[in-house]
Amino acid sequence: MKSSRKSCPIGVPILENNQIVSKLTEKFQDKVRKLELHPEQAAVAVESASLPEVAQFIKGDQDLALDYIMSISGVDLLDNGMEMVYHFCSTTQDHRLTIKVKLDREKPEVPTIIEQFPGANWYEREAWELFGINILGHPKLERFLLVEDWDEGYPMRKDWDEGKDFVKMPEF
């Protein structure tokens, strides 16, 4: 499965997906759970409280070296709550990791990982702004995508239809 990928330019051995996941599950025991998303994708579910700890580990660990945050997305699952999805990759080794954090829809909260990954700053602000996910410990939760005086809820939530300029698609 890895054969199609090029080897790492500096010759560091590349971990297989299951090795990445097993490394995390051994380290964090029941705080991390393996997810089966796609055969080529290493993915784990992490408890909300232990996210900064996991982020610190995957960045600092010599084998993992996941030092780059590619994206952070909020996901609204309606009855199944909400999720934050983090995509990490390594700039020195050719592997990636997806981390999902399950959130309560009534009170979505997740700790910030800015200390570990400063690039997470705007992604987390975006999730706060558009999904209403409270980012605990974020130094600057201010709007930058919506207008400054926005007071019409969180437009990326699936049940959002409250804006004064909002026109719902008619049902055919």
Radius of gyration of the chain (CA): 18
The one among 10, 36, 147, 159 contacting other proteins by CB under 8 A? 147
Based on the shown chain and the rule CB under 8 A, indicate whether residue 160 belongs to the binding site for other proteins.
yes
Based on the shown chain and the rule CB under 8 A, indicate whether residue 169 belongs to the binding site for other proteins.
yes
**97 CB-contact burial (10 Å; exposed 0-12 / middle 13-18 / buried 19+):** buried
Q: Is residue 67 within 8 Å of residue 79, measured between CB atoms?
A: no
Stretch of 31-39, 46-54, 66-74, 139-147 contacting other proteins, by CB under 8 A = 139-147
Between 10 and 169, whose beta carbon lies closer to other proteins?
Answer: 169
* Alpha-carbon distances, residue 100 vs 3, 60, 97, 146 (angstroms): 27, 20, 10, 26
Based on the shown chain and the rule CB under 8 A, indicate whether residue 163 belongs to the binding site for other proteins.
yes
Between 77 and 145, whose beta carbon lies closer to other proteins?
Answer: 145
Query: What residues line the site for other proteins (CB under 8 A)?
Result: 145-147, 152, 155, 160, 163, 165-170
